[in-house]
């Protein structure tokens, strides 16, 4: 089994990490399956099998649960490389990572149920508020709801959903002001709505709507839903990976899909430009100074965004490693979320 | 990149078209929205950044 030994320092060479090398090595396979993924609107089972073997679905789980306990830069790089191969693959691995962090906030018996010894757990669903309503019953809740964006529902074992609890028809409000709870539903017992993911891009994510109706959800698979969209509720697990604020994960995870796709776009033009002679022209595309300028600018913008994003995350990590404050008033915490739109700008050049 | 690919870019099967389609979808994610700039800016200015960064 691959393991990542978490140090208090981030790895000096992220690309040398075995799981990152596995992602790079899998890119041709991802490309091989791309047409099938898009057509079937799901990751092919053969590819999912290889992703399990590479450890991509347990990147962020603690070692005590069979995970790799990866640092965020390693996780982001894996997502980025997979997105270079196919955006949908990167997206689903990214979302599984955040989903698995969320599940670490469940009660202990819930965590053990989701991640039994030798598990091959994949988490799908959505981490944002709302979608379901529940009524408290002995030992848990009866939940009904419809959730959108169930990315990865076809390869998942568990679906993550958010709901409100109704007392006499009125939403329950906690002392902290929160009004939402989370629950984990067995994938085999939810209904995925056909035709609810008719989209122009990321078709392969299979981000279909899904529903449950009057479903008994035991207390052990529920937790409060803190934060907008979510706070770190997994900080009781040991290691800096789990002490980082949610902003080090949520946002960077989708940003990594953007930067992976942006790299794929630049590479696609570079490959095309070597051979293509546009109609009515005599020279190849690569001989056109405007194309040369665009490729050079795109590479600079993409990498400046990537470096900014990674530097903000590294600052957060290092602050924790050194016992410094990482509250929202600190520069790294503020810089971390705003690095997402900054890197996302790279897409405009692609 | 898309523009410089010329007519190749909009062919459904082209890699540039695939990347462009996927990018437009990912770019709609709320976590990547420009609204994060003023949230970060408020924190840098010593103001309450709001619930998303509190």
Distance CA A250, CA A230 (A): 8
Answer whether A255 sits within 8 Å of B32, measured CB to CB. Answer: yes
On the question of pLDDT at A134 being above 90, the answer is yes
pLDDT: which is higher, A1 or A309: A309
Strand partners, A158: A123, A186
Distances (CA, A) of A71 to A116, A151, A199, A269: 23, 23, 33, 32
Nearest to A225 by CA among A258, A186, A184: A184
Residue A332's pLDDT band (boundaries 50, 70, 90)?
A: confident
**From A199, which residue of chain B is nearest by alpha-carbon distance?**
B25
At A125, is the secondary structure helix, strand, or coil?
A: strand
Residue A329 is predicted with a pLDDT of 57
Answer whether B1 sits within 8 Å of A269, measured CB to CB. Answer: yes
Compare CB distances from B6 to A128, A265, A278 and report the shortest one's residue.
A278
Instruction: Report residue A146 CA to chain centroid gap.
Output: 21
Q: What is the DSSP string of A181-221?
A: EEEEEEGGGSEE-TTS---SS-GGG----EEEEEEEEEGGG
A346 near B CB under 8 A: no
Q: Which of B22, B24, B43 to mutate to test the interface with A (most CBs of A within 10 A)?
A: B22
Exposure letters A150-177 (e unless 16+ CB within 10 A, then b): bbbbbbbbbbbbbbbbeeeeeeeeeeee
Distances (CA, A) of B37 to A121, A335, B40, B42: 36, 9, 5, 9
A202 near B CB under 8 A: yes
Residue A1's pLDDT band (boundaries 50, 70, 90)?
A: very low
A178 near B CB under 8 A: no
Q: Which residues of A touch B2 (CB under 8 A)?
A: 265, 350
pLDDT in tens, A255-275: 999 999 999 999 999 999 999
């Amino acid at each position: 089994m691959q393991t990542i030994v978490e140090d208090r320092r981030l790895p000096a060479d992220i690309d040398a990490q075995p799981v990152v090398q596995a992602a790079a090595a899998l890119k041709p396979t991802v490309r091989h399956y791309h047409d099938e993924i898009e057509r079937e609107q799901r990751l092919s089972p053969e590819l999912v099998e290889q992703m399990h073997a590479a450890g991509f679905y347990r990147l962020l789980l603690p070692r005590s649960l069979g995970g790799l306990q990866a640092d965020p830069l390693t996780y982001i790089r894996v997502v980025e490389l997979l997105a270079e191969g196919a955006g949908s693959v990167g997206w689903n691995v990214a979302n599984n990572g955040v989903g698995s962090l969320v599940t670490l906030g469940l009660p202990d018996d819930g965590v053990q149920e989701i991640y039994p010894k030798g598990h091959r757990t994949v988490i799908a669903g959505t981490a944002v508020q709302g979608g379901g309503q529940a009524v408290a019953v002995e030992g848990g809740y009866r939940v009904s709801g419809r959730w959108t964006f169930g990315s990865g529902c076809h390869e998942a074992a568990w679906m993550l959903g958010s709901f409100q609890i109704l007392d006499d028809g009125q939403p329950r409000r906690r002392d902290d002001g929160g009004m939402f709870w989370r629950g984990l539903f067995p994938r085999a017992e939810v209904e995925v709505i056909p035709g609810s993911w008719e989209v122009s891009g990321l078709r392969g994510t299979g981000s279909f709507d899904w529903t449950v109706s009057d479903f008994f959800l035991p207390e052990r698979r529920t937790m409060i839903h803190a934060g907008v969209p979510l706070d770190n509720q997994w900080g009781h697990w040991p290691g800096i990976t789990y002490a980082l604020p949610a902003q080090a994960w949520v946002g960077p995870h989708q940003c990594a899909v953007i930067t992976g796709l942006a790299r794929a776009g630049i590479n696609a033009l570079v490959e095309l430009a070597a051979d293509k002679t546009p109609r009515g022209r005599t020279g190849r595309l690569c001989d056109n100074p405007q194309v040369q300028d665009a490729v050079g600018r795109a590479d600079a913008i993409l990498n400046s965004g990537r470096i900014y994003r990674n530097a903000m995350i590294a600052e957060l990590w290092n602050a924790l490693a050194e016992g410094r404050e990482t509250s929202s008033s600190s520069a790294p915490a503020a810089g971390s979320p705003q690095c997402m739109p900054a890197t996302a700008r790279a897409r405009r050049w692609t | 990149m898309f523009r410089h690919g010329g007519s190749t870019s909009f062919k459904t099967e082209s890699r540039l078209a695939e990347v462009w389609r996927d990018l437009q979808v990912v770019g709609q994610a709320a976590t990547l929205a420009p609204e994060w700039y003023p949230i970060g800016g408020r924190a840098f200015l010593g103001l309450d950044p709001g619930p998303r960064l509190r």
